[in-house]
Amino acid sequence: MSDSRVKVGIVGLGTVGSGTFNVLTRNAGEIARRAGVAIEVVHVGARRDNPRCDTSKVKVSRDLMAVVDDPEVDIVVELIGGTTLARELVLRAIANGKHVITANKALIALHGNEIFAAATEKDVDVDFEAAVAGGVPIIKSIREGLSANNINWLAGIINGTSNFILTEMREKGRSFADVLAEAQQLGYAEADPTFDIEGIDAAHKLTILASVAFGIPLQFDKVYTEGISQLTADDVAYAEALGYRIKLLGIARRVPAGIELRVHPTLIPEERLIANVNGVMNAVMVHGDAVGSTLYYGRGAGSEPTASAVVADIIDTARNIVLDAANRIPHLAFQADQLSDVPVLPIDGVETAYYLRLMATDKAGVLAEVTRILSEAGISIEAILQKPVGDRDRVPVIILTRPVLEKKMNAALARMRALPEIDDEIMRIRLESLDH
């Protein structure tokens, strides 16, 4: 360091960028009392001003690369989003010998392996706490707080928009489309909500969580991803009648054959704490061999909650700068040369329990047929709920199964669909007990 301050350059002054600027400025005194060194924003790169920030006392550049190339800057904070320019900018910052902090989950999930290799080469820190679950220190908790454990599995509500929609569907019996429209009006959902409701955003985050939990390279393309757009208010209500809540979970589990990586709507017993995480809130359960189940909860998005995580990374990096201790914690929790090549399992090879909803002719023989097919496939039934629905032609039959290999379930489903008394569209939702 040329002087005793740690100097920060922020690139991007949108929701998270402005929050980061404001938290660093407002809490400068408290932060210096903790860090033992003053941390100052010296350069901001932004295409336009943000009225929520008073940047009159710092250098502001319209050319974002000017921050990355500024010799004054110790830490570059990338908050522009996207993966093309962001990647270029982060790699150039690293090449310039600067430490990097980002809140960009897509960037880390898709280009993290390349970025971390470059950072290890140049011996700089790249931190990304804000990329998963906003202000919740979940990366730190897994990488450091649970470092004594063999992590067995984790399961997270890591997309606030989907959780808001599912909460509204359950509490008010509303349809998916209806709640989505409201979420868009409230600003909880984007005009194009695909990333949120189809599980892609959650898959980015799950990719990162799995890597720091198991010490495997980032493998976004291996995540099985299924969103919530097919869920009906009826399924949410039937699940509740059986003592379950439906949540969009990102699940990573280590089993003897490999690692499961999957995002999908999931029934969870209502007595689990995570089943009671509602609205836009996020929570991640992490199960380690020594600690058992733990849970981390908070706001997964928003200006200052996300900034809380970005600034914590800045403080951590500032401590490392002062002590000349970059890369104290490996990017993916395990030493770069100690990553594991355990394979990610295809969804066919995943074992889980199921909720099935069949629409069937209201005849006595149908249930016998269905249970025979399940029995012949070696699938045990946990519960059956048959809803008498007025004088309709087709009645719903809900079945909860014990855990079974997905491949076997698919074969059984094909046989059920072939029954003339059953509609082709069978609703199938996975179920996780999350108890050990």
3-state secondary structure (DSSP) of residue 284: strand
3-state secondary structure (DSSP) of residue 295: strand
The answer to the question of residue 325 lying near its own copies (CB under 8 A) is yes
Residue 368 identity (one-letter amino acid)? A
**What is the size of the binding site for its own copies (CB under 8 A)?**
62
Catalytic residue, candidates 105, 205, 222, 247: 205
- Cα–Cα dist 352/139, whole Å: 26
Helix 28-35 / helix 303-323 crossing angle, nearest 10 deg: 40
What is the closest distance, in whole angstroms, from the C-beta atom of residue 179 to its own copies in the complex?
Answer: 19
The answer to the question of residue 334 lying near its own copies (CB under 8 A) is yes
Cross-strand partners of 430: 266, 354
State which of residues 3, 4, 30, 56 lies at the interface with its own copies (CB under 8 A): 30
Closer residue to its own copies (CB): 125 or 235: 125
Closer residue to its own copies (CB): 183 or 333: 333
Structural contact between residues 350 and 405, judged by C-beta atoms closer than 8 angstroms: yes
- Where does this chain touch its own copies (CB under 8 A) — which range of 117-125, 312-320, 353-361, 413-421? 312-320
The answer to the question of residue 1 lying near its own copies (CB under 8 A) is no
Closer residue to its own copies (CB): 309 or 360: 309
Q: For strands 244-255 and 224-225, give the pairing.
A: unpaired
What are the tokens at 285? 């359960």
- Cα–Cα dist 49/108, whole Å: 27
The answer to the question of residue 316 lying near its own copies (CB under 8 A) is yes
Closer residue to its own copies (CB): 22 or 162: 22
Site for its own copies, residues 66 to 95, rule: CB under 8 A: none
- Cα–Cα dist 354/129, whole Å: 33
What is the closest distance, in whole angstroms, from the C-beta atom of residue 358 to its own copies in the complex?
Answer: 33
Closer residue to its own copies (CB): 283 or 344: 283
Site for its own copies, residues 90 to 149, rule: CB under 8 A: 129, 135-137, 140-141, 144-149
State which of residues 194, 338, 375, 410 lies at the interface with its own copies (CB under 8 A): 338
- Cα–Cα dist 374/365, whole Å: 15
Closer residue to its own copies (CB): 284 or 347: 284
Structural contact between residues 215 and 340, judged by C-beta atoms closer than 8 angstroms: yes
Site for its own copies, residues 150 to 209, rule: CB under 8 A: 150
Closer residue to its own copies (CB): 314 or 416: 314
Cross-strand partners of 358: 397
Per residue in 410-431, is it b (16+ CB within 10 Å) or e — as a string? eebbebbeebebbbeebbbbbb
3-state secondary structure (DSSP) of residue 351: strand
What is the closest distance, in whole angstroms, from the C-beta atom of residue 301 to its own copies in the complex?
Answer: 11
What is the closest distance, in whole angstroms, from the C-beta atom of residue 196 to its own copies in the complex?
Answer: 20
Helix ranges (H only) for 327-390 are: 364-376
- Cα–Cα dist 272/19, whole Å: 33
Site for its own copies, residues 209 to 268, rule: CB under 8 A: 215
The yes-or-no answer on residue 205 being catalytic is yes
3-state secondary structure (DSSP) of residue 356: strand
Closer residue to its own copies (CB): 151 or 239: 151
| DSSP conformation class of 82 | S
Mark residues 278-297: x for contact with its own copies by CB under 8 A, - for none.
-----x----xxxxxxxxxx
Quote the Cα angle for 230-234-235, to 5°: 60
What is the closest distance, in whole angstroms, from the C-beta atom of residue 30 to its own copies in the complex?
Answer: 5
The answer to the question of residue 31 lying near its own copies (CB under 8 A) is yes
What does the CA dihedral 286, 195, 50, 93 come to, rounded to 10 degrees?
Answer: 70
What are the tokens at 207? 């990719």
Mark residues 260-279: x for contact with its own copies by CB under 8 A, - for none.
-------------x--xx--
- Residues in contact with its own copies by the rule CB under 8 A: 19, 23-24, 26-27, 30-31, 33-36, 129, 135-137, 140-141, 144-150, 215, 273, 276-277, 283, 288-299, 304-305, 307-312, 314-316, 319, 323, 325, 328-330, 333-335, 338
Q: Which residues are catalytic?
A: 205
